[in-house]
Each structure stands twice: as structure tokens, then as C-alpha cells.
Amino acid sequence: MSDKWIQIKASAENKYLDDICAVMSMIDAALMIEDFSDVERDLDGVYGDLIDEELLSRDRTTVSVSVFIPEIKNPAESEGFIKERFAALSIPATVDIIGVHESDWADSWKQYYKPIKTGKKIVIVPVWEKYEPEEGEITVLMDPGMAFGTGTHETTRLCATLLEKHQKAGDKMLDVGCGSGILAICSAKLGASQCFACDIDENAVRIAKENTQINETPCVKVGASDLLKQAEKCEGGYDICCANIVADIIIRLAPDIGEFIAPDGVIIVSGIITERADETIAALDANGWELFDSLRENGWFAGVLRKK
């Protein structure tokens, strides 16, 4: 195992501190917070010659939050995850990888990314790995690039497992916040007749399109959309929808998602830390949805809901 660590740092106005911490904590790593907004108050009464000039010169209008991840993880996926969540939450933060050159980590993590089985049939296979599927297995090839969605994160695995369990052959599927396109491609491989996958991040849209070509899944259409604003509706509504985002965004989607779903359709929500599960499900319940299936893993929650 590697003992090398990579720092991912997010910076924005200090009013966004709580939201930035919430997103960065999803990386499952300790946070380092740099907030100098209260430096004068905290140093009130301290003799001037004891105060570090460099400290006093720091920008007090911005904050920075860093996480440190081992190089065995995909830093590109972690960076993509953070950027996509910030975009969805309309947080104007900058995200940087500190202390290393991209060439040092761009490919090093790939040696640790191996085929991953989710549910009973789906196997997520990196495009650079050779894999001979066993009888009944469905392989999904992935090159995540800078987008979230390799199948290694609990939120993706939970969502894919529930998708396999509840999707029927011929279903029409909607993927909101698609990242690498992994869930829409899984849906296509499971027999969906058409899929629409969308993301606010143009880089994710490009990568998702490339992955649909790699997997030869022409029934998956990918487009840019700010949540549901530019999402395509389909006749009769979608039979199944995946929203692997964050609790706050799912709550924001709750009043509108019903317009896109068939009367007997279901939605699968993921990307929710267990502490926010009750709040998220309550918001969906208030908008006419009832929870009937769920999974939990390592502090993450995913649920399946249908119309009341």
C-alpha cells in the first residue's frame, strides 16, 4: 500500500464554510480548515510585536478546507466529486491539488483500481483491465477521467445495487447528476430502452459521452443540465430515476422530480450521509413519495421511493 498523500484544497468566501466542510467531509478524510476571519478578535490585547506579520496579512474574507487522500485513491474522482457537488450547491469555490504535479498522480492510482462487483450481476471494469465475466455477469467499462463515478465509492455502489434490483427490462431511465455516466450505462446494460443522463459540469458530460461510446450503449443520451432545468422529459414519464448527489440537492429536487416520473415509477436517491437520511426522506414524503427499500454502508444511505 502507498504511504503517499495528496492534498485537495477548496477555497471560497467564508460565508460558505459550513457547506464546504459538509462536501469535503464526504471524501472520508480528516479536514484541515484555514479561516483567518477572526484573527484580530482572537489576538485582541496581544502585543503587536508578538503577532506574526504573515498572519495579519492573510485574506480574512476567504476560507480554505483541505482533505488529504492516499494516492491509492483516484484523486481525479475525488476532485470531480467535490467540484460537481459545489456546482450543484452553487458554491463558487476553487479546488486545487496542492504539493504535487498532476503527472505524479494522474495515473499512479490506476494500479489500485480493479474490477468491482456491485449487486448480483454488475461488474465495473476499468478500461485498462482485462476481465472475463462469469456466467450471468454484466460488465460496465469505465474511464472516469476527472468525473465522479468509478464504482469504488459507497454512494455509487449502493445506487447501482438498487438499480439492478428494481429496474425492469424496457424501462426508461433518468440519471440526474450523472458524473462519469456509470449509472445510466449500468441501466442500459440491464435492459433499459432509453436513458437520459445529465450533469451541470461540462467536463462530466464529455466524459459520460465517451463512456457510453466505450460501452456501446447508444440508448444513453447525455446532456448538460442544471439539475432538472434542461433535462428532457419522455412520453409517459421515466420508469426509474437515479439521483446520486447530496442531501441538500435531493431536497431541492423533491417538489419537481414527480413531473418527470411515470405514475408507477420509482426514484433512487443516494449520496446521503446517514445523519441526513431522515431529513431527506421527510422532504420527499412531503412531496408525495414513500420509501419502500433502502441500503446503508459505511455511513452512507440510499433509498428507493414510489409515489403514494
pLDDT tens for each residue of 282-291: 999 999 999 9
The arithmetic mean of pLDDT across residues 60-78, rounded, is: 76
Residue 256 domain boundaries: 113-307
156, 268: one domain:
yes
157, 57: one domain:
no
- Of the residues 47, 79, 108, the one at which a domain ends: 108
Domain count, the chain: 2
Residue 1 is predicted with a pLDDT of: 40
Give which of 17, 1, 97 is closest to 60, Cα–Cα.
17
State the burial class of residue 276 (Cβ atoms within 10 Å of its Cβ: 0-12, 13-18, 19+). Answer: middle
33, 120: one domain:
no
What are the cell numbers at 187?
Answer: 441501466
The arithmetic mean of pLDDT across residues 174-178, rounded, is: 94
Residue 42 is predicted with a pLDDT of: 44
139, 39: one domain:
no
- Of the residues 108, 125, 140, the one at which a domain ends: 108
Residue 89 is predicted with a pLDDT of: 80
The arithmetic mean of pLDDT across residues 62-87, rounded, is: 78
- Of the residues 108, 134, 162, the one at which a domain ends: 108
Which position has the higher pLDDT, 228 or 2?
A: 228
Cell 419537481, located at residue: 256
Residue 293 is predicted with a pLDDT of: 98
Task: Report the b/e string of 39-55 with b at 16+ CB within 10 A.
Answer: eeeeeeeeeeeeeeeee
Residue 24 is predicted with a pLDDT of: 84
How do residues 75-114 score in pLDDT, each as one tens digit?
777 787 788 788 878 889 999 887 665 555 455 556 666 7
137, 272: one domain:
yes
Residue 41 is predicted with a pLDDT of: 43
161, 73: one domain:
no
Radius of gyration of the chain (CA): 21
Cβ–Cβ < 8 Å for 250, 243: yes
Average pLDDT, the chain: 83
Residue 204 is predicted with a pLDDT of: 86
The CATH number for 143's domain is: 3.40.50.150
Residue 292 is predicted with a pLDDT of: 97
131, 208: one domain:
yes
Q: Choose the weakest-confidence range: 86-95, 101-110, 194-203, 292-301.
A: 101-110
What pLDDT band is residue 143 in, cutting at 50, 70 and 90? confident
How do residues 241-266 score in pLDDT, each as one tens digit?
999 988 888 999 999 999 999 999 99
Residue 213 has a CB neighbour count (10 Å cut-off) of 10
The CATH number for 47's domain is: 3.30.70.2170
% of residues, the chain, pLDDT over 70: 80
93, 236: one domain:
no
123, 269: one domain:
yes
134, 55: one domain:
no
The arithmetic mean of pLDDT across residues 267-276, rounded, is: 92
What pLDDT band is residue 299 in, cutting at 50, 70 and 90? confident
How do residues 26-53 score in pLDDT, each as one tens digit?
776 667 888 766 544 444 444 444 444 5
182, 168: one domain:
yes
295, 187: one domain:
yes
